[in-house]
């Protein structure tokens, strides 16, 4: 079987390949083909990926191509992981938002809106190629904002697409570690939208433990995702939060921390990637592939170390030196995708958190609304768990953000600035017609008339 990665020059591709090495034979994967419009960067990432395969003495075939049709043709699974406009577009998105006094995070609110508007038309073009050259392939969308983009592609008629995000799986991993149990012994049930979800059930070996976890300050402080929140807040809502709810529940704190830091997350990432690629471009990777890999791993460590630290004000973790670094096991989005493929190939199935169509899971939402929820994935299909009752405070936020998403999709489809303003005006992190209009006008100007 063949996996194609559209956006193969992304830095996470190396970690994806390393994660795949542990399971590619079990999943019957023979080759991975990388495609990206950034050809120089892709050549570097291709060499690092091949070295990861060789240092593990495996025979998985990894290669890069410059033609998207060649990458897609005959693929069984396709990963879409794009950043339309490159790293600097994220800096632009965040800066415009901050200049107008709002949070511009790339998936939540204004930044996510701008990225989606640029990205959806490009992904639809790739989906048209996939429909022609790999009509039976499953598409795993990791392109941010994952939920909104997946909604757009589903609404455009592409039905073999699954939105994936590593936030829920990473949270479960850290919860299991803190509790001293194996991940397989912990059932963690999410519901909501991508980057707007809650944990409504935690079972350890079949026994419900969510109430005692909410009462345990040491646990709440010991898991990175929960440590940002006021414990009294979590006890009052009765759920454990997706970390991105920090932007809603502690909005003024997040905004103030970003302003005080002097640099947005996007600018931090841009600088890290520039430094990393500059070092890699000026060395002979063929002569010293392990040295190149250590440079890559060092900068990936710096990148991950900055995650949510600016917004939350939490201290960064200490860094390890080059030469001491191991390639991560691919738990992130690679792990979610591979777990999904494994589930699809099994009778018993696996419980995974995915962005899929609602189909009656959350009452009050349309069947075609894309939600992020725990699903049972098996040979019989992908079945979201049924959420019988949603508290009003969660339901209202879900409905509001889903309406924002659907209006954004409509605005892109019809190239309508008016609809785009309506979408942003509804978003809780904007919540103003005049602000929404200024933001849409500014993004339209900076990106050369995206609504024309």
What are the residue boundaries of the structural domains of the chain, listed by start?
Answer: 2-84+102-165
Asked whether the predicted pLDDT for residue 228 surpasses 80, the reply is: yes
Q: What pLDDT, on the 0 to 100 scale, is given for residue 393? A: 95
Residue 447 neighbours by CB distance under 10 Å: 17
Give dist(CA 101, CA 15) in Å, integer. 36
What average pLDDT does the segment 118-134 reach?
97
Residue 85 neighbours by CB distance under 10 Å: 18
What average pLDDT does the segment 281-304 reach?
93
Find out whether the peptide bond into 52 is cis, omega within 30 degrees of 0: no
Q: What pLDDT, on the 0 to 100 scale, is given for residue 106? A: 85
Burial letters 36-50, b for 16+ CB under 10 A, else e: bebeebbbbbbbbbb
Q: Angle at CA 344, nearest 5°, toward 340 and 346? A: 115
Closest CA to 148 of 197, 115, 190, 189: 115
* 127 is an annotated ligand-binding site residue: no
What is the tens place of the pLDDT at every residue in 369-410? 999 999 999 999 999 999 988 999 999 999 999 999 999 999
Q: What is the dihedral of CA 432, 433, 435, 440, to 10 degrees?
A: 130
Asked whether the predicted pLDDT for residue 143 surpasses 60, the reply is: yes
Looking at per-residue confidence, does 102 or 260 come out higher?
102
Give dist(CA 243, CA 245) in Å, integer. 5
Instruction: Please state, rounded to an integer, the average pLDDT across all residues of the chain.
Output: 93
Active site residue 230: no
Asked whether the predicted pLDDT for residue 317 surpasses 60, the reply is: no
Q: What pLDDT, on the 0 to 100 scale, is given for residue 313? A: 60
Residue 295: pLDDT band with limits 50, 70, 90: very high
Active site residue 166: yes
Give dist(CA 429, CA 7) in Å, integer. 29
* 177 is an annotated ligand-binding site residue: no
Residue 276: pLDDT band with limits 50, 70, 90: very high
Which of the residues 35, 93, 158, 166 is marked catalytic?
A: 166
The first and second tokens of residue 149, run together, are 């983009």
Which of the residues 35, 77, 187, 244 is marked catalytic?
A: 244
Give dist(CA 241, CA 239) in Å, integer. 6
Domain 2-84+102-165 is in which class? alpha beta
Give the CA radius of gyration of the chain.
21
* 195 is an annotated ligand-binding site residue: yes
pTM, full prediction: 0.94
Give dist(CA 35, CA 15) in Å, integer. 16
Looking at per-residue confidence, does 39 or 307 come out higher?
39
* 273 is an annotated ligand-binding site residue: no
Residue 263: pLDDT band with limits 50, 70, 90: confident
Q: What pLDDT, on the 0 to 100 scale, is given for residue 306? A: 66
Q: What pLDDT, on the 0 to 100 scale, is given for residue 301? A: 87
Residue 261: pLDDT band with limits 50, 70, 90: confident
Give dist(CA 16, CA 20) in Å, integer. 6
What average pLDDT does the segment 428-450 reach?
94
Phi, psi of 190 (to 5 degrees): -105, 155
Closest CA to 62 of 76, 72, 48: 48
| For the chain, counts of helices (H) and of strands (E) | 20, 13
Asked whether the predicted pLDDT for residue 1 surpasses 60, the reply is: yes
Closest CA to 264 of 138, 396, 106: 106
What average pLDDT does the segment 302-319 reach?
66
- Exposed, middle or buried, 342 (CB in 10 Å: 0-12/13-18/19+)? middle
Asked whether the predicted pLDDT for residue 308 surpasses 90, the reply is: no
What average pLDDT does the segment 35-56 reach?
96
């Amino acid at each position: 079987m063949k996996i194609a990665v559209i956006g193969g020059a992304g830095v996470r591709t190396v970690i994806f390949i390393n994660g795949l090495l542990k399971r590619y034979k079990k999943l019957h994967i023979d080759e991975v083909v990388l495609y990206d419009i950034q050809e120089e960067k892709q050549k570097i990432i291709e060499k690092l990926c091949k070295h990861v395969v060789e240092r593990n003495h495996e025979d998985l075939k990894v290669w890069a191509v410059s033609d998207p049709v060649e990458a897609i043709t005959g693929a069984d699974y396709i990963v879409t992981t794009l950043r339309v406009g490159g790293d600097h577009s994220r800096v632009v998105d965040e800066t415009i938002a901050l200049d107008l006094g709002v949070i511009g995070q790339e998936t939540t609110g204004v930044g996510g809106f701008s990225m989606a508007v640029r990205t959806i038309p490009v992904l639809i073009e790739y989906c048209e190629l996939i429909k022609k050259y790999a009509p039976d392939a499953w598409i795993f969308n990791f392109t941010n904002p994952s939920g909104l983009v997946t909604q757009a592609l589903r609404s455009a008629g592409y039905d073999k697409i699954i939105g994936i995000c590593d936030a829920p799986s990473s949270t479960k991993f850290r919860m299991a570690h803190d509790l001293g149990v194996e991940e397989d012994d912990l059932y963690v049930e999410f519901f909501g939208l991508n980057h707007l979800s809650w944990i409504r059930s935690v079972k350890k070996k079949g026994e419900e433990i969510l109430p005692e976890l909410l009462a345990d300050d040491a646990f709440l402080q010991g898991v990175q995702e929960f440590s940002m929140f006021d414990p009294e807040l979590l006890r009052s809502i009765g759920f454990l939060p997706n970390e991105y709810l920090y932007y809603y529940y502690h909005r003024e704190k997040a905004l103030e921390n970003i302003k005080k830091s002097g640099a947005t997350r996007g600018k931090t990432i841009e600088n890290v990637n520039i430094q990393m690629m500059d070092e890699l471009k000026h060395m002979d990777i063929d002569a010293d592939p392990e040295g190149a890999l250590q440079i890559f791993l060092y900068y990936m460590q710096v990148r991950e170390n900055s995650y949510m630290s600016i917004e939350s004000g939490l201290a960064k973790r200490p860094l390890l030196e080059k030469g001491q670094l191991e390639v991560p096991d691919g738990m992130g989005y690679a792990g979610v995708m591979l777990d999904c493929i494994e589930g699809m190939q099994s009778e018993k199935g696996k419980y995974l958190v995915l962005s899929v169509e609602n189909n009656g899971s959350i009452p009050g939402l349309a069947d075609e609304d894309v939600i992020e929820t725990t699903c049972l994935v098996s040979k019989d299909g992908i079945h979201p768990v049924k959420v019988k009752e949603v508290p009003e405070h969660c339901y209202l936020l879900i409905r509001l953000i889903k309406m924002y998403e659907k209006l954004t999709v409509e605005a892109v489809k019809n190239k309508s600035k008016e609809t785009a303003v309506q979408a942003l005006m509804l978003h809780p992190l904007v919540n103003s017609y005049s602000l929404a209009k200024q933001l849409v006008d500014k993004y339209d100007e900076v990106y050369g008339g995206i609504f024309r």
